[in-house]
Structure 1
Amino acid sequence: MGIDPNFDGNRERVGEENGLDVWGPVDRPEKLGIHGAHVAVDYDVCIADGACLEDCPVDVFDWVDTPGHPESDRKVEPTREDQCIDCMLCVDICPVDAIDVDASRS
């Protein structure tokens, strides 16, 4: 199952990490929640294949280490979500539907 497109209404904002909103639940290292708002990545779904990072035309994403997470030991973080041009390439290319882009959450 991919990211919940209504996570900002269905989940509680539990804090901030690296300047990004984090939506729970979070229980490290197994549960990491959703990171970002305009460009949101569900860290619990992300398998870190890197396609979004490699193909993003404006370099929104960076790698972050997530040791001990059951899906992967690193994730793509929407570090520069404010530079997103809403092309939706990352959404289309993600093999597990871990990314959501929504301009209304900017």
Structure 2
Amino acid sequence: MAIDSNFDQNRERAGEENGVAVWGPVEPPEKLGIHGTHVAVDYDICLADGACLENCPVDVFTWVDTPDHPVSEKKVEPTNEDQCIDCMLCVDICPVDAIDVDASRQA
């Protein structure tokens, strides 16, 4: 199941972590929600293979720890989503479709 590309309409904003918006539901450690707005990562399906972080030409992503999450104990945070150039490489290489980039959504 891929990230909901309309999460900003279908989910409530649950707060902020590391300067990044978090969209619920959030019930740690199992449900961590979607992190980011312009560049969004669904933490509930991200398996942390690191392809997006390693291949992003403008270093949008950083690692964050997510202890006891059933899929992986670390995730990629779109910490620098304001630097995104909308190349869509992260969307294209994510093996589980956990990332969505939408130029109409602003961080």
Q: Give the shorter-chain TM-score range.
A: over 0.9
1:52 and 1:16 map into 2 onto residues whose CA distance is 21
1:94 maps to amino acid: C
> Percent sequence identity over matched residues?
82
Q: CA deviation at 1:74?
A: 0.1
2:66 and 2:98 map into 1 onto residues whose CA distance is 16
TM-score, normalised via structure 1 length: 0.99
1:14 and 1:73 map into 2 onto residues whose CA distance is 21
- Paired residue for 2:8? 8
1:2 and 1:68 map into 2 onto residues whose CA distance is 22
Deviations 1:10-46 (A, max 9, x none): 0000101111110000000000000000000000010
2:12 and 2:89 map into 1 onto residues whose CA distance is 27
2:74 maps to amino acid: R
Give 1:13-28 correspondences, 5 Å limit. Answer: 13-28=13-28
2:62 and 2:18 map into 1 onto residues whose CA distance is 11
Instruction: Say if 2:104 is the partner of 1:94.
Output: no
1:13 and 1:102 map into 2 onto residues whose CA distance is 17
1:47 and 1:55 map into 2 onto residues whose CA distance is 16
Structure 2 spans left out of the alignment, 5+ residues: none
TM-score, normalised via structure 2 length: 0.98
1:16 and 1:77 map into 2 onto residues whose CA distance is 12
1:65 maps to amino acid: D
Structure 1 residue ranges (4+ consecutive) displaced by more than 3 angstroms after TM superposition: none
2:59 and 2:20 map into 1 onto residues whose CA distance is 16
Give 1:44-59 correspondences, 5 Å limit. Answer: 44-59=44-59
Aligned length: 106
Q: CA deviation at 1:99?
A: 0.2
Deviations 1:78-99 (A, max 9, x none): 0100000000000000000000
